[in-house]
Structure 1
Amino acid sequence: MRRCEVVGLRVEDLRVAERRVFIADGKGGHQRLVPTSSRFFDHVAAYLDAERPPDATTDQLFVVLKQGGRGRPLTAAGLDQILLTARTRAGIGHATCHALRHTCLTRLREAGMPLEAVQSQAGHASIETTRIYLHLADDWLTSQYRKAAEVIDA
């Protein structure tokens, strides 16, 4: 998901039984259902149970947890700050929400997800945009070539 889609999620956008998330207001005003891992829903359930203030008055899923803004909707800048703090703790020099999106889409493709499915998951109108996002490892490309060559040689 895009950063703006994450901070825009509402509690009712979670389709837990389907393991999907409804993106009500994606880029260009487009809506889509995004398949999401069970781990995501496990973490969200723990967040709702133990961290999200019960008196939060917003229907947005993610809210500020620190004093001052506690319970108010999380903003894109707030999400960037959370990532910066996590990067600092982990000793990582550079990582952005957008870079994580690139990594996620690349890993899905490397795991065998068809390019058209990655495009749909990303919410891209053009498959060419999806191709730009992918940063495929040389060893993945080599393995794909060898598989294709075996079929051709057979």
Structure 2
Amino acid sequence: MLLGGLRRCEVLGLRLGDLSPGERQVFISEGKGGHQRLIPISATFFTAVGDYLDQERPIVDHDHLFVVLRGPTRGRPLSADGLDEILDGVRRRTGLPRLTCHQLRHTCLTRLREAGMALEAVQAQAGRRSIESTRIYLHLANAWLVKQYLDASAAIDADRTNL
């Protein structure tokens, strides 16, 4: 969610065959509203997934990427409740009591936009249908807005002085 802007249901729906490490892409086969998309994801994501597959994930008889790691359901596909338990642990370790899956997604998409990714590209990455809903969805830092304004203002001033 944090590295690719994925929804909770998209993370839970990932299968091994959805990953293309060589191209650094992930196929989202179970997106919101049944929509599918192919998105780029950082090498950091694939490194973390590789470590998980090599060191943590038990051998199973299905192709779900994320599975239960402990207890009587070990090896079964990770459920929404299981993901909630993982997030509970993250909240305790980080001291962020209100951290949610959706906030992780927002953080990723906002950081992509702040790093200069075009709004239309953020929309495609997020699997959003509307550019307006994408714009509302982002929570851009004030410092980013100030920099955007100052850069644009400087360009306008430069154009005026060249007339």
TM-superposed deviation, 1:23: 0.5
| Structure-1 residue corresponding to 2:43 | 38
CA distance in 2, matches of 1:35, 1:80: 25
Of 105, 108, 112, the match for 1:104? 108
Moved over 3 A (4+): none
Partner of 1:85: 89
1:69 and 2:73 aligned: yes
CA distance in 2, matches of 1:136, 1:46: 32
Structure index of larger Rg = 2
Alignment coverage as a number of residue pairs: 153
Aligned to 1:113: 117
Q: Which runs of 5+ in 1 are unaligned?
A: none
CA distance in 2, matches of 1:49, 1:93: 31
Identity %: 64
Deviation (angstroms), 1:10: 0.3
TM-score normalised by L of structure 2: 0.92
Query: C-alpha separation between the residues in 2 aligned to 1:98 and 1:80?
Result: 12
Higher RCO (Cα < 8 Å, 6 or more apart): 2
Partner amino acid, structure 2, of 1:142:
V
Which residue of structure 1 lines up, in the alignment, with residue 55 of structure 2?
50
What RMSD in Å do the two structures reach over aligned CA positions?
0.8
Contact 1:57 1:72 in 2 (8 A): no
> Structure 2, unaligned stretches of length 5 or more?
1-5, 159-163
**1:19 aligned onto 2:24:** yes
